[in-house]
Amino acid sequence: MPETLGSVLREAAETLAGLPQGAPRLESELLLAEATGLARERLVAWPERVIEPAVAERFRDLIVRRRRGEPIAYLRGRQGFWSLELAVSPDTLIPRPETELLVEVALERLPPGRPLVVLDAGTGSGAIAAALAQERPAWTLIATERCAGAALVARDNLRRYAPGNTHPVRGDWLAAIAPASLDALISNPPYVAEGDPHLGEGDLPWEPRTALVAGADGLDAIRRLATEGRSCLRPGGLFALEHGYDQGPAVREILARNGYIAVETRRDLAGHERVTLGYAGSRAA
C-alpha cells in the first residue's frame, strides 16, 4: 500500500517521542515540510496524499538525524528570529527568543531617525544586525564575525534582509573598529563557563563551542568587550550585551569598573536577568 503524508507523520512522531525537550508532532511536520517542499498547512489538510518513496526516504533520514539530537534549525537550515527567517548552519549559534531582548533594548534606547552607527559584535548568523537594520533604515549596522563559516552565513542574511544599511566585516570583535566611531555596541557574546553541565544538554552539544564558552567563569569575552568597547564608543554611546541568567551582578560590576554609567539589567520573559546595558561617559548626545 502506498504511504501517505498522514502515515509517515504518525510514524515520525512516534520515533521522536521521548526526545528531551522535543515536540514530536510539530517537529515531524516541520521536517516533512522540508522534505516535501509543502507548507505545514497542506500536510495537515491532505493526510491522505500519497508521498513518493524518494521523498519519504529523505524525510526518514531527517527524522533519524533529529532522533540523534541534531537541532531542527540545522536540519532545516533556518531559524525564525524577530520578524525574520534567518539562514543558520553548524558554524553559527541558533538564534533564540531571549536574544530579541537585545533588539528591544536598542530600539527603546536609541533615537530612531538619526543616522547612528551601531555595531553587532560577534554577529554569528547576523540576527541582531539584520533585525535592527530592518527596523531602523536610517542606522548603519556593522556586523563583525571572526569565524569564516559564520561570516558567510551572516553576509547572506544581511544581503537578503538589509542590503542598504549593513556592513558585514570579517574580523575579531572590535579589531576593525576605529576609536570613538560607534553610537552603540550590541553583542550576544559567548558567556558559558568551561565545564558547565548545560553544555551537554539540548542543542548546545551541536553548536560551535567558541560561540558558547568564555573561560573559567564565562565572562572572558564580556570583560574584553567592556574594556575595548569603551574606547570605540562615542560619549553617551550605548553598550548592551546578553549574558547568563546568574551573571547580572558580575556584569554590572565589570561595566561600572570600566567607566560605564547608568548601568542596569533587563529581565527576559522568564524573569531571568538577561541583558545588561550602560553608557560611555555622559549620556548627553
Strands 260-267 and 273-280: antiparallel
Q: How far apart are CA 116 and CA 77, in angstroms?
A: 32
35 and 95 share one domain: no
Cell numbers for 77, please give them: 537550515
Query: Same domain for 83 and 57?
Result: no
How large is the C-alpha radius of gyration of the chain?
Answer: 21
Helix axes 220-232, 248-257, angle to 10 degrees: 30
Answer yes or no: is pLDDT of 277 > 70.
yes
Range of the domain at 232: 79-280
SS3 237: strand
Other CB atoms within 10 Å distance of the CB of residue 140:
16
Instruction: Answer yes or no: are the C-beta atoms of 200 and 147 closer than 8 Å.
Output: no
Domain end call among 69, 92, 122: 69
What CATH number is associated with residue 24? 1.10.8.10
- Cα angle: 236, vertex 180, 111; to 5 degrees: 40
75-127 per-position pLDDT tens digit: 999 999 999 999 999 999 999 999 999 999 999 999 998 999 999 999 999 99
Please state, for a pLDDT cut of 90, what percent of the chain lies above it: 88
Sign of the torsion formed by the C-alpha atoms of 70, 72, 74 and 79: negative
Residues 10 and 139 in one domain: no
Give the cell for residue 7: 502515515
pLDDT, tens digit, 9 for 90 and up, residues 37-73: 989 888 888 888 999 999 999 999 999 999 999 999 9
Residue 283 predicted with pLDDT over 60: no
Q: Which of 69, 97, 121 is the last residue of a domain?
A: 69
- Asked if residue 285 belongs to a domain, the reply is no
**Same domain for 258 and 127?**
yes
265: enclosing H helix or E strand: strand 260-267
CATH number for the domain that contains residue 169: 3.40.50.150
For residues 120 and 31, state if they share a domain. Answer: no
Report the alpha-carbon distance of residue 276 to residue 229 in Å, rounded.
14
pLDDT of 281 > 90? The answer is no
Digit-coded pLDDT (tens) for 114-172: 999 999 999 999 999 999 999 999 999 999 999 999 999 999 999 999 888 999 999 99
